[in-house]
Amino acid sequence: MAKHIVVIPGDGIGKEVTDGAVEVLKKADDIYHMDLSYEWKDAGGTAYDKYGVPLPEDTVDACRKADAILFGAVGGDQWDHLEPALRPEKAILGLRKSLGLYVNLRPVKIADSMIEYSPLKPEIAKGTDIMIVRELVGGIYFGKRCESEIVDGAEQAWDVEKYSVPEVERITRFAMEAAKKRHGHVTSVDKSNVLASSRLWRRTVIKVQEEEYPDIRLDHMYVDNCAQQFAIHPSFFDVVVTSNMFGDILSDEAAVLSGSVGMLPSASIGEETSLYEPIHGSAPDIAGKGIANPIATVLSAAMMLRYSLNEDKAAEAIEKAVNETLEDGFRTGDIYRDGMKKVNGEGMTEAIIDHLK
């Protein structure tokens, strides 16, 4: 049966990198006969310029019907002055909420061959393989907020951090299931020494583990300590489960540990459909120059094949092709070192396609 993919390039380098990933998917389809079909839709600042809104209804409708969504990136300085509801970021936040994409998976692995790119000392970076499971449709991102009010003559603004037991239970179960397929270790990150919402988070995680996953090793860390441990002992971690806000910050920290943000994929998973996107943003400074590294989006497409389309073999083949392309010395500017083969985005895409079997 045909598998339908909605591609949302978005802004900045989003178009270049999704184009590259679709080329790789088409080659994989030739080999593995997956019967993939594609449809392109607008979102972000690009959509605002065309239709006056960052997330057109038509885009959301197409996503609802899709088997999976491949997303580039949104954002750019030219839209920074817009009111919050019209900003490009609203596109991705709106998609997460309206499609119920409650899990964000961000794997960060430092392969031995890429260890020199890490800002960490090699002996600290070695063996790092973290799966961050970030709650994506709750917490302070979607809580009540007030942009501005005057109280006792002073202007103030506020945002509410709130979690319910069912919200924490479902993200905990997802993290526990992920750990089962990995090394059986979950670290839950919170700020329960200060926040009531974190205390509910922690006791809910403990209850789910005790009642449903007694074989999973569970520990807890305060978010500030976790930020330190990522930098001094990253190989301690297997699966990290945390709230929307803490996950946003910690996943960026974990991403830079690899030294190659241009290579990290992510998946945002819901009950009905899921969305796959590179971790890096829209990088307006290099957009349109053709030099953006497509690897993060290519690897996101591989995650899509694995998690949404049940095409594990094709996913593995793409991941292998990326590894071999890197082993053969192909490098875009962001990861270039003397003596390696410097290529632009298109060159990297072609090299990956040549390696794909």
Give residues in contact with ligand IPM (CB under 6 A).
89, 92-93, 248
Cα separation, 144 vs 146, in Å, equals: 7
Burial of residue 133, with CB atoms counted within 10 A of its CB: 0-12 exposed, 13-18 middle, 19 or more buried: buried
Q: What does the chain come to in residues?
A: 357
* 82 vs 93, beta carbon nearer ligand IPM: 93
Residue 11 a catalytic site member: no
Residue 224 a catalytic site member: yes
* 92 vs 343, beta carbon nearer ligand IPM: 92
User: Minimum distance between the CB of residue 4 and Mn ion, rounded to whole angstroms?
Assistant: 28
- What is the three-class DSSP state of 221? strand
* Residue 309 touches which of ligand IPM, Mn ion, none (Cβ within 5-8 Å per kind): none
* 60 vs 111, beta carbon nearer ligand IPM: 60
The residue within the footprint of Mn ion, chosen from 89, 169, 248, 354 (CB under 5 A), is 248
Bridge partners, residue 186, by sequence: 218, 239
| Burial per residue of 228-261, b for 16 or more beta-carbon CB atoms within 10 angstroms, e otherwise | ebbeeebeebbbbbbbbbbbbebbeebbbbbbbb
* 9 vs 343, beta carbon nearer ligand IPM: 9
φ, ψ dihedrals at 329, nearest 5°: 90, 5
Cα separation, 268 vs 228, in Å, equals: 26
User: Minimum distance between the CB of residue 268 and ligand IPM, rounded to whole angstroms?
Assistant: 8
* Residue 89 touches which of Mn ion, ligand IPM, none (Cβ within 5-8 Å per kind): ligand IPM
* Residue 92 touches which of ligand IPM, Mn ion, none (Cβ within 5-8 Å per kind): ligand IPM
* 200 vs 255, beta carbon nearer Mn ion: 255
Cα separation, 221 vs 227, in Å, equals: 10
User: Minimum distance between the CB of residue 244 and ligand IPM, rounded to whole angstroms?
Assistant: 7
Rg (CA), the chain: 20
Residue 238 a catalytic site member: no
* Residue 129 touches which of ligand IPM, Mn ion, none (Cβ within 5-8 Å per kind): none
User: Minimum distance between the CB of residue 132 and Mn ion, rounded to whole angstroms?
Assistant: 11
Which residue number has the CB closest to ligand IPM?
89
- 62 in Cβ contact with 41 (< 8 Å): yes
Which residue number has the CB closest to Mn ion?
248
Cα separation, 299 vs 182, in Å, equals: 19
- 220 in Cβ contact with 188 (< 8 Å): yes
* Residue 249 touches which of ligand IPM, Mn ion, none (Cβ within 5-8 Å per kind): none
User: Minimum distance between the CB of residue 336 and ligand IPM, rounded to whole angstroms?
Assistant: 26
- The residue from 141, 163, 213, 307 that is catalytic is 141
Residue 191 a catalytic site member: yes
Residue 159 a catalytic site member: no
For the chain, helix, strand, coil in percent to 5 are 50, 20, 30
DSSP code string of 120-132: S-HHHHTT-EEEE
Cα separation, 99 vs 273, in Å, equals: 7
Contact range with Mn ion by CB under 5 A, out of 166-174, 205-213, 247-255, 268-276: 247-255
- The residue from 248, 313, 336, 354 that is catalytic is 248
User: Minimum distance between the CB of residue 248 and Mn ion, rounded to whole angstroms?
Assistant: 4
Tokens of 299: 């690897």
- The residue from 191, 213, 276, 334 that is catalytic is 191
- The residue from 35, 49, 219, 224 that is catalytic is 224
Catalytic residues: 141, 191, 224, 248, 252
**Binding stretches for Mn ion (CB under 5 A):** 248
